[in-house]
Every structure is written in C-alpha cells, then in structure tokens.
C-alpha cells in the first residue's frame, strides 16, 4: 500500500522532470514528440490519449471533460467537424506550438483526437444497443429477426413466428426473443450483419455448427460472441484494433469486429475437435485468451480472411 | 486509492472470517431447469456478481460460492433441449438439486414438470433433496409458488426432502431463504 503511494508520487515528479528536460533539449512538447516519433496507429493514439489525460493544464482538462461528456451522451459523432478543430486549436495554443510546425502536427493530432473520442462514443453506442430488449411489438426488431432466418435458410420457409424451426439455426427454444435477454438488440444486429454481409461465411459456419459431434448452437454461440466482443471493447483491450484502422470507429466497425470473431471462433472450435458442446466454456475462454494476446501486440488489426468479392462468386456457383 | 484500501480491508476481513469458521461442509449443487428459467442469473447472484448481461448458457458454468458457512460448488448446466441429454453426466455425487422454474412461462409448465419428473426418477439422483425455485416473481404474470408446486405435483414426492421457494433472481429476493433450507437439510443428513 505505502509502496504504491510512494512509487506513484516519485513517478509523478520524475515524469515532470523528464518532460521539462526533453522540452528544453528538443524544443518540442510531449505531444509533438509522440506525433512525430511514432508511426500512425494504435501506439501513437494510445500515447496521445495518455498524455492528454495526464495533462495538468486546466484548459486541456476542460477540453477533455467536454469531449468525454459529448461521447458519453452519444453526441460526439454529430459534432466532430467542429469539436476536432476546436480541440486541436486549444491544444496548440496551450502548448505554444511554433507556427512552422503547425500543419504537420495538427493533422496528426486531429486524427488521434478523432480516434480516441469516436471509440469512446462507440462504447456508449454498443452499451445502449445491448440494453434495448427485444420487443415483439416492434416492427424493426421483428423484420430484422425474419431477415436473419431468410439469409441463413433461403430454401426453408419459416412456418410460424413461434416455431421449433428456430432451433435449426441454434436458438434455444421456439421463440428467439428470450435468448436476446442479455445482449439485447446488439446481439440481433451482430447476427443479422454477419448473415447479410458475409452470407457465404455465415452459411458455412451454420452448416458446420450442425455437425453431429463437433457442432454447436449457431445463434447461442453468436450471442455469446457478442458478449465477448462487447467486453473487449468496453474494457479497452480492443483499442489496438480500432485505433489501427485508419477511420474513426463507428457502429458498423463493431459489427465487422464481431464477424471477425465469429469466423475465427468457428475455425478455432473445429480445430479443437471438442468431444461435445459441453466443452464450450473451456474453448471460449481459450479463444478469448488468444484474441487478447493478439490485441497486446501494438500493430494488430483484424481483417476477416475471405475477401468480400469471393463470397458473392462462391454463392453464385 | 480509497478503492484499493477498501478492497484490502474487505479481503482481510473475509480471510479472517474464513479462518474463524472454516466451512466444514463442501456441497456439490446441481442447478437445472428449462432454458430461460434463470439458472445462470441465480448462480451469479449467489456469487454477488453482475446479472445484467447474462447470455444463454452453451454447455455449463461452475462456480464456488461461500454461503451460510458452507462451500457450495454450483454446477449450472444449460437448459436448451439439445443439452438436456447431457444433464445425466453431471448427476454423480450431487448433494442438492436446485430446480429452477420460470413462473411466468405458463406455456411450458408441462414441459418443466416432465423434465423434473425425469430427474426425480433417475437412480443417480435417488434421495437427493430438491429445492425448487419459483423464479421471476418480479414479473406481473408470474404464478405463485403454491400454484407452481401444485402444477409440478410436488406433494407427491415421498422419497426425499423437498421445498419450493418463491424468488426473483434479478432482484435477489428469496434466494437466501432457499439457502437456509439447504443448510438445514444438509445438517440433518
């Protein structure tokens, strides 16, 4: 306990001394050193984030409070075209950055700021979506659920809204609505996105999930993977992937991240050759660990390994 | 920092408590019931964990929980029809069977009664005390515990101690009363 206190006290002061020394010798502030020295991607964005959050300047602290509030009210995306330039100009003013350095620095800093607070809003977006319960009286929800069926089972007509057929695509009972209890509409959105954008992959995974021994319940596993994806994004581990993508994160990027996880999990499960689906918890944990290990490497960015063009080709054949 | 301090003291306190009353009983508890009955929520609530994001159980979960001076090893097995044939693999050495019923799911009363009867007539579970949780009492449509008991014909059980307990897993109500019954019935054993 005391050890931690003393250690963080020493670090705090040491950091200040080092920063002062570097500023005097390089004539650059910490943010500039990060933006110039580090290549574009997660490493740079994470360092900028840390530097901004550790800043003792009241203007920068105020700026962060405003941006945080916008992101947690899910108002950042709509105002980014004003918020980003404002943030950049506040920071350059506070840090008294030389005019000839201006443009090179502001572009990079702007990108980082946009990435940081887009990610933060993404966290809020998916948490909100997970909190929306599936509602049978909501047309949008119902249509989305039927779309899922049609994408996965184009040759089998759904006989009823409530039917045993739902178990064919891996729901637990006759009405999928109860299975969405924990992940809400986010779980449905993820499944529908996977089935409509990567239809070939989704159908592949579905047919493999029906294997008599090494099979699994497609939809239930899908909802469990939504929970895993949500966990990785909310605790910040997934920043590596989202910061390494060039564009700032949006809801669709979460869907893409999910599709990657699903496709990889399907392969992982098949490779593990489980005795039966009672082994799910163990393999799920191992799978999550491998994903976490990948996210610890600063250059990780997940790309689904089948190109989109091929999927339509394969469907036609 | 204060958080860390709190965690430290709490950890210390629970350690002292454990030293003082080291649990002499270690129980294997089997948690069964149809899908969406609320088994995982009950288990998480027993372990004082967050219950807002429970996903359907594929396979099973295990948790060790300290309660009422007992160490409970809780086995929460998925309830979907596909998984039910695997339930038998977990019967051995069971001390208590907890059967969870969704009191608001009137359509599946027969199905849940059928599954319970299957369990009670299995040799591997002969004589194992059964606690039925009439869960989801927080819902407006929920049947009373007494109705559930009637529909499941619990009064016909003669070969083991049994109990029905109304509860709400989400709110955490009624769970403790069930645990008290467990601790009394284990002492008698």
How far does the CA of residue B98 sit from the closest CA of chain A (Å)?
A: 20
User: For residues B158 and B23, which has the higher predicted lDDT (pLDDT)?
Assistant: B158
Beta strands, E only, chain B: 25-33, 60-67, 70-77, 96-102, 130-135, 162-166
Q: What is the mean pLDDT of residues A169-177?
A: 94
Residue B82: per-residue pLDDT: 87
Q: How far apart are CA B149 and CA B138, in angstroms?
A: 18
Q: What is the mean pLDDT of residues B39-44?
A: 95
Residue A101: per-residue pLDDT: 66
How far does the CA of residue A122 sit from the closest CA of chain B (Å)?
A: 18
- For chain A, what is the mean pLDDT? 90
Residue A71: per-residue pLDDT: 95
Q: Which residues of B are catalytic?
A: 80
pLDDT at A288 over 70: yes
Instruction: Please write the tens of the pLDDT for every residue from B51-87.
Output: 989 999 999 999 999 887 889 999 999 999 889 999 9
Which residue positions of B form the known binding site for GTP?
A: 33-40, 79, 135-138
pLDDT at B5 over 80: no
Q: How far apart are CA A304 and CA A284, in angstroms?
A: 19
- Can you read off the two tokens belonging to residue A112? 């980082």
- Show residues of chain A in contact with B6, CB under 8 Å: none
Kindly indicate the confidence band of residue A313, based on its pLDDT and cuts at 50, 70 and 90: very low
Query: B43 near B30, Cβ under 8 Å?
Result: no
Residue A23: per-residue pLDDT: 72
Query: Between A and B, how many residue pairs show a Cβ–Cβ distance under 8 A?
Result: 70
Tell whether B169 is within 8 A of chain A (Cβ): no
Q: Which of B39, B78, B76, B58 is nearest to A221 (CA)?
A: B58
Q: What is the mean pLDDT of residues B32-57?
A: 93
Query: A34 near A53, Cβ under 8 Å?
Result: no
Residue B104: per-residue pLDDT: 95
Kindly indicate the confidence band of residue A59, based on its pLDDT and cuts at 50, 70 and 90: very high
- For chain B, what is the mean pLDDT? 88
Interface of A with B (CB under 8 A): 1, 4-5, 130, 167, 172-173, 178-179, 181-183, 187, 216-217, 220-221, 223-224, 226-227, 230, 276-281, 284
Q: How far apart are CA B80 and CA B74, in angstroms?
A: 19
Tell whether B33 is within 8 A of chain A (Cβ): no
pLDDT at A309 over 70: no
Length of chain A: 317
Residue A166: alpha-carbon gap to chain centroid = 28
- Write phi, then psi, for B61 (nearest 5 degrees): -125, 150
Kindly indicate the confidence band of residue A263, based on its pLDDT and cuts at 50, 70 and 90: very high
Q: What is the mean pLDDT of residues B10-27?
A: 62
Residue B104: alpha-carbon gap to chain centroid = 18
pLDDT at B167 over 60: yes
Residue B17: per-residue pLDDT: 58
- Show residues of chain B in contact with A130, CB under 8 Å: 53
Domain boundaries, chain A: 7-125, 139-296
pLDDT at A179 over 60: yes
Tell whether B36 is within 8 A of chain A (Cβ): yes
What torsion, rounded to 10 degrees, do the Cα atoms B98, B100, B171, A145 define? 140
Kindly indicate the confidence band of residue A14, based on its pLDDT and cuts at 50, 70 and 90: confident
- Can you read off the two tokens belonging to residue B32? 């069964």
Identify from B32, B41, B43, B53 which residue to disrupt to test chain A contact, counting A C-beta atoms within 10 A and taking the largest count.
Answer: B53
Tell me whether residues A227 and B36 touch, CB distance under 8 A: no
User: For residues B186 and B124, which has the higher predicted lDDT (pLDDT)?
Assistant: B124
How far does the CA of residue B81 sit from the closest CA of chain A (Å)?
A: 7
**Does the pTM exceed 0.95?**
no
Residue A126: alpha-carbon gap to chain centroid = 9
- Work out the widest C-alpha separation in chain A, in whole angstroms: 75
Residue A28: per-residue pLDDT: 73
Kindly indicate the confidence band of residue B8, based on its pLDDT and cuts at 50, 70 and 90: low
Residue A104: per-residue pLDDT: 78
Residue A317: per-residue pLDDT: 39
Tell me whether residues A1 and B53 touch, CB distance under 8 A: no
Residue A78: per-residue pLDDT: 93
Length of chain B: 189
pLDDT at A49 over 90: yes
pLDDT at A211 over 80: yes
Q: How far apart are CA A218 and CA B164, in angstroms?
A: 35
Q: What is the mean pLDDT of residues A47-67?
A: 93
Residue A10: per-residue pLDDT: 82
Residue B11: per-residue pLDDT: 65
Residue B3: per-residue pLDDT: 54
Residue A316: per-residue pLDDT: 44
Closest residue of B to A168, CA-based?
B82
Tell whether B79 is within 8 A of chain A (Cβ): yes
Which of the residue ranges A34-38, A219-223, A270-274, B113-117 would you say has the lowest mean pLDDT? A34-38
How far does the CA of residue B55 sit from the closest CA of chain A (Å)?
A: 5
Residue B156: per-residue pLDDT: 93
Report the b/e string of A64-73 with b at 16+ CB within 10 A: beebeebbee
Instruction: Please write the tens of the pLDDT for every residue from A99-135.
Output: 666 777 888 999 999 999 999 999 999 999 999 999 9
- Show residues of chain B in contact with A187, CB under 8 Å: 55
Query: A137 near A131, Cβ under 8 Å?
Result: no
Instruction: Please write the tens of the pLDDT for every residue from A180-192.
Output: 999 999 999 999 9
pLDDT at A178 over 80: yes
Residue B6: per-residue pLDDT: 59
């Amino acid at each position: 306990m005391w050890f931690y206190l003393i250690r963080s006290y020493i670090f705090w002061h040491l950091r200040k001394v080092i920063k002062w020394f570097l500023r005097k010798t390089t004539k650059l502030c910490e943010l500039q050193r990060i933006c110039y020295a580090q290549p574009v991607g997660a490493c740079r964005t994470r360092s900028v984030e840390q530097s901004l959050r550790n800043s003792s300047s009241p203007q920068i602290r105020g700026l962060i409070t405003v941006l945080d509030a916008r992101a947690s009210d899910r108002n950042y995306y709509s105002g980014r075209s004003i918020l980003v330039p404002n943030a950049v100009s506040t920071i350059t003013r506070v840090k008294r950055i030389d005019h000839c350095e201006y443009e090179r620095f502001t572009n990079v800093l702007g990108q980082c700021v946009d990435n940081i607070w887009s990610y933060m809003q993404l966290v809020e977006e998916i948490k909100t979506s997970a909190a929306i319960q599936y509602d049978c009286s909501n047309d949008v929800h119902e249509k989305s659920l039927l779309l899922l069926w049609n994408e996965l089972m184009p040759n089998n007509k759904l006989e009823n809204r409530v039917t045993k057929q739902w178990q064919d695509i891996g729901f637990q009972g006759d009405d999928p609505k109860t299975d969405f209890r924990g992940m809400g509409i986010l779980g449905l959105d993820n499944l529908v996105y996977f089935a409509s954008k990567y239809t070939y992959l989704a159908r592949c995974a579905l047919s493999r999930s029906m294997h008599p021994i090494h099979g699994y319940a497609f939809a239930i596993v899908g909802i469990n993977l939504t929970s895993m994806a949500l966990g990785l994004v909310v605790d910040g581990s997934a920043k590596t992937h989202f910061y390494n993508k060039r564009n700032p994160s949006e809801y669709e990027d979460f869907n893409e991240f999910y599709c990657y996880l699903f496709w990889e999990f399907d392969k992982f499960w098949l490779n593990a050759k489980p005795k039966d689906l009672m082994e799910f918890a163990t393999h799920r944990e191992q799978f999550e660990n491998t994903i976490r290990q990948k996210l610890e490497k600063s250059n990780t960015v997940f790309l689904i390994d089948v190109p989109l063009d091929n999927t339509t080709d394969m469907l036609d054949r | 920092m204060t958080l860390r301090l709190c965690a430290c003291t709490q950890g210390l306190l629970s350690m002292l408590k454990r030293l003082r009353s080291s649990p002499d009983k270690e129980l294997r508890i089997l948690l069964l019931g149809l899908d969406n009955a609320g088994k995982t929520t009950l288990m998480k609530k027993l372990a004082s964990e967050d219950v807002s994001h429970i996903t359907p159980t594929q396979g099973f979960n295990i948790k060790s929980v300290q309660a009422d001076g007992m160490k409970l090893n809780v086995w929460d097995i998925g309830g979907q029809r596909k998984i039910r044939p695997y339930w038998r693999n977990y019967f051995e050495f069971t001390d208590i069977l907890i059967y969870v019923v969704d009191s608001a799911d009137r359509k599946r009363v027969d199905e849940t009664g059928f599954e319970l009867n299957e369990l009670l007539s299995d040799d591997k579970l002969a004589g194992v005390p059964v606690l039925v949780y009439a869960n989801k009492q927080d819902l407006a449509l929920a049947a009373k515990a007494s109705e559930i008991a009637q529909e499941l014909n619990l009064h016909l059980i003669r070969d083991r101690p049994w109990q029905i307990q109304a509860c709400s897993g989400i709110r955490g109500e009624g769970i403790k009363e069930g645990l008290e019954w467990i601790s009394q019935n284990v002492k008698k054993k």
